[in-house]
Structure 1
């Protein structure tokens, strides 16, 4: 991913700066090469000729244009009209937009609009969501003369869910709230009688007592749409090593079978793309239909109060109101991630560790650091010595802009100290460099059930310190998928002890030829790929021969040879030219025959939506095939792809229909 992903005022700012002194610009920026570290680079750019004169073009300011009471009222009225027409989904959308537009001081209006949204959700039979919005409205102080409606709705939802103690409690609250209700006496009497009747009926139900006893023993689970917290995990079968040729990399400590989960990791930092800011939680990336929003800005939303609280107590208190500036600048998600790394921690934290960042720690010490320690990521590959003066200058200029954004947000206090600006700017600059080569695209699987089409969509970027240590292969040994922002890594083929565990940085040999793959990797990651598909120039899937079968030599284990046999071959014993032993290919032919039925069964389970069972079948197939056959081989490649598709269904998923 690049520094600038689209047009914006930042590239215009850079070009204007360059054109203002075009005759000496290249000579001037060349002097940055003499700087010894990122802090000196920030200091150099701060004194660069013409830099401050052009600062007005950066347009750094906080703005809250999305909040407007009149707009909110208009959207609410549209929601009311849709509700009257029984267009529940349309009404819900208008109420959500109205809720997002309400200014911070309109607390009562927020309570009312959430109550209205809960009514649409009730009609849509989304009972958990209804209960959540009802409680949100109550917490915001919904009017006393109307609150009986919410308690009755709450009771009806619990009734459908067969949560009888909760149903009784809500009906009792409804009866009490009727004292403040401005309704005719006959209407009040009927509501009260209906509630009392339901209470008496449920109190006699044996299930009520059982549920009440269970609640008393275990407590009542809070109803939330927040994604469950996952425990991070690194398999004992994974070891990390380092050498001059390959840098840091993961290897198998013991034999690893296909399908094993070897890593579950939360991101050190993750940023959602702007285009998904109104559909996904800004904190956990989960798609949400009934969001909560920041009271101050209308730029992002959250799936739950938990995510809103996490964001508001860390990065969002500085990004709030600044996001339009960041998005309008044209800065890439990489740049936003560099800013958020700093925004997640107080200034004092970075001032304290400033001198520790440059220390070259041993790999085992790095892995022992707390997961939120900046030094867990600051050591990642930056290719600092390979960067041109122009590249360094542009990155430094961006770091200076992002530092100005933080200053505008009050990160440095009322009067920022110049030395603090340089320190943080230097840390952002360092972050921009390692983020460039170590970011993973957080994905969501989009499916159209009507036609069966599926595609993976990039919704944000994440930095995963442990996974970043894995090297690349165009024939990766693992597949990754996401639950929210948490990444799961599973093996997609057996990996022998001592061999590298490689992931994939983008190009895969089955889809793109060697020349294109290597050009892409060189451009994006600045290295020459030497994986087996590149060294041996494996064919893409469409060019794989179907008249040649690749068998593994079943001679001594020290022989890793592949025996290529024409499909028309009538001999069953084939001599290996490497070890001289003969291999009986009948076993391999029998495997190919047996796997056809298993493949049909696995595909049928996939089409039926039973992805876990389908995955287990494909994993069994891969184990069987890998014992006797070797890629590149069409059936094996197809089976791997089917297994990958199953894994993706276990993560972020959106049914477009």
Structure 2
């Protein structure tokens, strides 16, 4: 990813700066090479001719234009009209827009809007979501004379969920609340009679007593939430990390690892949602949400739950609130936003105390033992500091300065920022921009349209995963990754022998792109020359793979495991290995190929039926069986790997377009 991904005022600012002194600009920029560290580079940029003089072009200011009571009222009216027309989905959307637009001081109006939204959800038979919105409305102080409606709605939801003790409790609250209700006496009497009838009927039901006893035994139940369940991080005991001059830091297998094993579950050190998904996904955990909660001050992002809103407000959002429009208008990439959020997630005091330790070189063993939220877990990732051209370093320094100015505007440095503190954070911002460039992963969501079977992976944000970032690249990766929210899961996609590298993939894979194109892309984005097996041996893409040659593994007594290529028309069963000189009986391999055809059909049938877990188990069995006797690249193995990857994706972030 680049510094900027679209047009905006930052690239215009840079071009104006360049054009204002075009005759000497490159010479002046070249002097940044004399700077010894990132802090000196920030000072250099601060003193660069024309930088401070043109600061007004950066437009750094907090904006809260999304909050407007009149706009909220208009959306509410449209929601009411849709509700009357029984267009529940449309009503829900307008109520959400109204809720998002309500200013901070309109708590009672927010309660009413959430109550209205809960009514649409009830008609849509989304009972858990209804209960969540009802609780939100009550917590915000829903009017006393109307609150009986919410208690009755709660009771009806619990009734459908067959939770009878809670149904009874809510009906009792409804009866009590009717004392404050402004309804005709006949209407009140009917509501009370209906509630009492339901209470008496449920109290006689034997299931009610059993449920009550069970609930009492279990104690307080967790409140309903749309937040994604918290996952425990995990690193397989079979994964080791090494380091050498030629390969840098890399992961290797400490023992044989079979196909399909989960070897890593990791939360991001930092993650940022793309702007285009800011109104459909939770800004904190990235899950798609239909009943969001909003920041009280800004309308730029939303959250799936109070938990995520609270976590965001306690860390980065108190500084990003109102500044997001500026960041988005600047044209800065999601990488730049991640660099800002790394700093915003921690206090100024944290980084000032850590400053001296950031530059210290640490062995890989010590880095992996650091706490997961320690900045040094990521600060030592590859950043190609010494090989950056002066113009590249200057642009990154200029961006770091802009992002730091955003934090100054947000109050990160307090009422009177100290120049040294601003330079320190600017230097840390610059360092972050450098390592983020080469170590970011694109957080994905699988979009599927079951009507026509079309599926595609959509990137919804970026994340930095300290442990996964230590894995090297291969155009024939040994692992596949998928996401649940922002948490990444890494599973093996082929067997990996003890001692060998566990490689992931940085983008291009050999089955889809030719060697020259892959290597050019990797060189451009990651600044290295790929020397994986598909590149060294120039493996063919899937379309070019020969179907008249079968690649068997040598099964002779010397266990050399060399590759024996046999024409499909060969009638001999004993084939001599040119490496060890021993003969291999290929009947076993031929039998495997025959057996896998039936297994593949079964696995595909399970996949098409939506039973992805069972289909995955079948594909994993197929990969294991094939890998024992046959050697990639060959079409059947590649197809099976792709099917297994598709199954894994269905276990993570998923959106049904229907």
TM-score under structure 1 length normalisation = 1.00
Matched, 1:354 2:330: no
Aligned to 1:135: 135
- What does residue 475 of structure 2 align with? 474
1:70 corresponding residue in structure 2: 70
Q: Secondary structure at the match of 2:117?
A: helix
User: In the TM superposition, what whole-angstrom CA distance separates every residue of 1:610-632 from its partner, at most 9, and x where no partner exists?
Assistant: 00000000000001000000100
User: What secondary structure does 2:371 align onto?
Assistant: coil
Query: Following superposition of structure 1 onto structure 2, how do residues 425-444 of structure 1 map, counting pairs within 5 Å?
Result: 425-444=426-445
Confirm whether residue 156 of structure 1 aligns to residue 156 of structure 2.
yes
Q: Distance in 2 between matches of 1:213 and 1:469?
A: 51
SS at structure 1 position matched to 2:151? helix
Write the distance in 1 (CA, Å) between the matches of 2:471 and 2:13: 37
Counterpart of 1:516 in structure 2 is 517
User: Hey, what does 1:597 align to over in structure 2?
Assistant: 598
Inter-partner Cα distance in structure 2 for 1:281 and 1:295: 15
The 8 Å contact of residues 268 and 486 in structure 2, kept in 1 or not, is answered as: yes
Name the CA distance, whole Å, in 2 between partners of 1:469 and 1:404. 32
Q: Distance in 2 between matches of 1:463 and 1:330?
A: 21
With 284-293 and 23-32 compared, the bigger mean Cα shift is at 23-32
- Show CA shifts across 1:25-62 (max 9, x none): 11111111111100110111111111111000000000
- Relative to structure 1, is the Cα distance of residues 170 and 557 closer, same or farther in structure 2, using a 3 angstrom cutoff? farther
The offset of 1:556, in angstroms, is 4.0
Please state how far the C-alpha of 1:221 moved relative to its aligned partner.
2.1
Alignment of 1:207-606 (within 5 A): 207-218=207-218, 219-556=220-557, 558-606=559-607
Instruction: Determine if contact 2:443/2:460 at 8 Å carries over to the other structure.
Output: yes
Per-residue deviation at 1:557? 5.7
Matched-pair contact (CA < 8 Å) for 2:75–2:97: yes
Deviation at 1:216, TM superposition (A): 1.6
Structure 2 residue aligned with 1:52: 52
Question: Once the two structures are superposed, what CA deviation does each residue of 1:356-383 show, in whole Å capped at 9, x if it has no partner?
Answer: 0000011111111000000000000000
**Deviation, structure 1 residue 212:** 1.4
How far off its partner does 1:453 sit?
A: 0.4
| SS, match of residue 368 in structure 1 | coil
Structure 1 CA distance for aligned equivalents of residues 558 and 322 of structure 2: 63
Q: Output the CA distance in 1 between the equivalents of 2:144 and 2:156.
A: 19
Shift of 1:203: 1.3
Deviation above 3 Å: which 4+ runs of structure 1?
none
- Partner Cα separation in structure 1 for residue 97 and residue 177 of structure 2: 29
Distance in 1 of aligned mates of 2:51 and 2:318:
28
2:144 aligns with 144
**Secondary structure of 1:327's match?**
helix
Instruction: Provide, for residues 295-348 of structure 1, a one-character-per-residue CA deviation record: whole Å limited to 9, x for no partner.
Output: 100000000000000001100000000000000000000000000000000100
Give the structure 2 partner of residue 10 of structure 1.
10
SS at the partner of 2:368?
helix
**Counterpart of 1:121?**
121
- What TM-score results when the alignment is normalised by the length of structure 2? 0.99
Aligned to 1:614: 615
Please tell me whether the aligned partners of residues 549 and 568 of structure 2 are also in contact (alpha carbons under 8 angstroms): yes
- In 1: Cα distance, 2:379 partner to 2:561 partner: 39
Give the secondary structure class of the aligned counterpart of 1:174: helix
Give the count of matched residue pairs: 657
Structure 1 residues 83-124: Cα deviation after superposition (integer angstroms, max 9, x where no partner): 000000000000000000001101110000000000000000
| Conserved? CA contact 2:323–2:410, under 8 Å | yes
CA contact (8 A) 2:239 2:253 kept: yes
Query: CA shift at 1:558, angstroms?
Result: 4.6
> Aligned-pair distance for 1:222?
1.2
CA distance in 2, matches of 1:417, 1:50: 22
SS at match of 1:400: helix
Q: Distance in 1 between matches of 2:437 and 2:165?
A: 54
Report Cα offsets for 1:533-589 as digits up to 9, x if no partner.
000000000000000000000124651310000000000000000001100000000
- Whole-angstrom distance in 2 between the partners of 1:451 and 1:334: 35
For 1:187, the equivalent position in structure 2 comes to 187
Q: What are the equivalent positions in structure 2 for 1:90-105 lying under 5 Å apart?
A: 90-105=90-105
Deviates more, 1:200-209 or 1:4-13: 200-209
- Find the aligned partners of 2:166 and 2:76 in 1 and give their Cα distance: 31
557 and 201 in structure 1: CA distance in 2 versus 1, 3 angstrom threshold: farther
Long gaps (5+) in structure 2:
none
1:224 aligned counterpart, secondary structure: coil
CA distance, structure 2, for counterparts of residue 69 and residue 63 of structure 1: 16
Q: In structure 2, what is the Cα distance between the partners aligned to 1:217 and 1:342?
A: 45
Report Cα offsets for 1:513-535 as digits up to 9, x if no partner.
Answer: 00000000000000000000000
Report SS of the residue matched to 2:424: helix
**Structure 1: unaligned runs, 5 residues or longer:** none
User: What SS is found at the alignment partner of 1:402?
Assistant: helix
Give the whole-Å Cα distance in 1 for the aligned partners of 2:160 and 2:107.
30
Separation in 2, partners of 1:536, 1:265: 33
Paired with 2:128 and 2:558, the residues of 1 have a C-alpha distance of: 57
Partners of 2:429 and 2:448 in 1: CA distance: 37
Aligned equivalents of 1:632, 1:400: Cα separation in 2: 48
1: distance between equivalents of 2:213 and 2:37? Answer: 64
Aligned equivalents of 2:129, 2:499: Cα separation in 1: 50
Q: Distance in 1 between matches of 2:54 and 2:357?
A: 34
Equivalent pair of 2:558/2:580 in contact (CA under 8 Å):
no
- Residue 42 of structure 1 is matched in structure 2 by 42
